[in-house]
Structure 1
Amino acid sequence: MAKENQSIVTEFILQGLSSQPRTQAVLFLVFLLFYLLTIVGNIMVIAVIRADYQLQSPMYFFLANLSFLDICYVSSNIPQMLVNLLTKKGTISFSRCAAQMYFSLAFGMTECFLLGVMAYDRYMAICHPLLYTTVMNRKACIHMVMASWASSLLSSTVVNSLTLHLPFCGPHTLNHYFCEVPAVLALACADTALLELVIFIFSILIACIPFLLIIISYAYILSTILKMQSVHVKSKAFSTCGCHLIVVTIFYGTAICMYMNPKSRSPQDRGKVIAVFYTIVTPTLNPLIYSLRIKDMKRALRRAMNRPKCLFI
């Protein structure tokens, strides 16, 4: 009977962030602005890094990949949300929901790995400068990025396959603004204890291990910076590390709160607000944080504005 009920699921209804028409209109404008800022800001970061020869270093290679990832991340959920706010239908087909759940989870996992890799890059640059160019060579950097993507896509495949094979007997109303594993899992009419355990294990492996790498890296970085004599070098080190720590705090803090507890014992509305931060706010803030706080990026942006054609070469 469960399988029969599961087979007739053709769409889900997304409750969104509000059911009030005026609030929905405001949310549409706000999230459209966030989406445009994210796309434009991250494309600008990628273009500036690619065009400026002074930014051809591992740190900016990872930053360009992070910007590309953020574009993919917001594009996996915001367009559908904008359509639902505009049409006020709030429905999404089962296949679209499955695709959205897969890609949003995969992109989120990849961001976890990339932030960990970026912390390791800063550790090597500051704590082992003589070995930096040898260890963090072009080939190694590409392999790190490829490993981040591959492991995330594979992990998302496992989690989503298990989730989508559960029976959904109704109602098919998701208390969320996009299809996310914890929200879809809450609609299953079967024992989800095993899947919750799987999600918890993946949360440990994909979120907490890179987070632990970040903490260890910055413990060594802080110890090294405090021993430096040059105020200028200290300032530059704190500048690049400070940007990364701000992004890590916003993204990891909110993501861990959500995925370390799939059933979300906290109120669902609170869960939706948490999701807004790591799926929408963080990708929008990333280019602003890195562009405004890192002096090399600011200088490159000024050079790009003086020579606008270089962005399109």
Structure 2
Amino acid sequence: MALVSVVVFGALLRPAPGTAETWTAASPVESAAWPREGQTSVLVEGLGGTGDLGSKGVQKPVPIASVTKVMTAYVVLRDHPLRSGEAGPDITVDREAANESFSGTESSVPVREGQRLSERQVLELVLIPSGNNIARMLARWDAGSQEAFVEKMNRAARDLGMRHTTYTGASGLEETTVSTSGDQLKLARQVMRDAAFRAVVAKTSTTVPGVSGIIRNTNTLLGTAGVIGLKTGSSTPAGGALMWAATAPDGNGNDRLVLGVVLHQQAGTSPWQGLQAALDNSRTLIEAVREWLSTVTSGTR
């Protein structure tokens, strides 16, 4: 998953990485709508500089948990593109992924050795229920080993200008995988240009043959406030994290794509508490952005 003069109600002064942000008295979106902790970055596509709503919070690298899987999917789809509706090549579940199916310490999806799944199905298991074992399996399938895949992830980050990002695994389990909201927003813009990726992250649930039951998306904002994606993350070191995408009409009735990243919400608490904070705070911010965007009319097209 592009970007004119408009009525401007103020702007955020963007901070240098590692410094606190500065706000003008009349930002386009009231500061009260932004999360009070962690870091957040937001962009409205199609509005040029006015659509860059800036960042709030110190832009220093922090653990991002399963938001990592967005880069995993990006690299795989770059190496193995899928056309609209295409299932892609089959991937055979290896012993390692099967053995990791029932972990009590991380998010996993139950699969059996030798099971064959399409690339699209595997991407769904990575991005919808956030299966760590499946993300690592996908990395091995793509690059031969998770270590080789991580090198690809870091090269891709550098190519996208993500200067404050380091990946150390394909799943996000490692707290040494760190980034900033501004860096992850760059990735969000890029990956949402891929139709296959957009189709997967927009699903509130899915079913995969051989995987029991209905698989629910961890992003419970889907289908509310125009939300059409993207990816959750949570752990005690990372707190709650959410990369989100939503559509919203501007004052002329044109639908705009709004992208945001919220990181480090209630870090140090339980993963559930952190994730709930990320979801709740993102919902408040998305609704405020949508309200502001509805007033933007002059010069848009």
By percentage of residues, which structure has more helix? 1
By percentage of residues, which structure has more strand? 2
Give the TM interval when normalised to the shorter protein. Answer: under 0.3
Higher relative contact order (CA 8 A, sep 6+): 1
TM-score by length of 2: 0.28
Larger radius of gyration: 1
TM-score by length of 1: 0.27
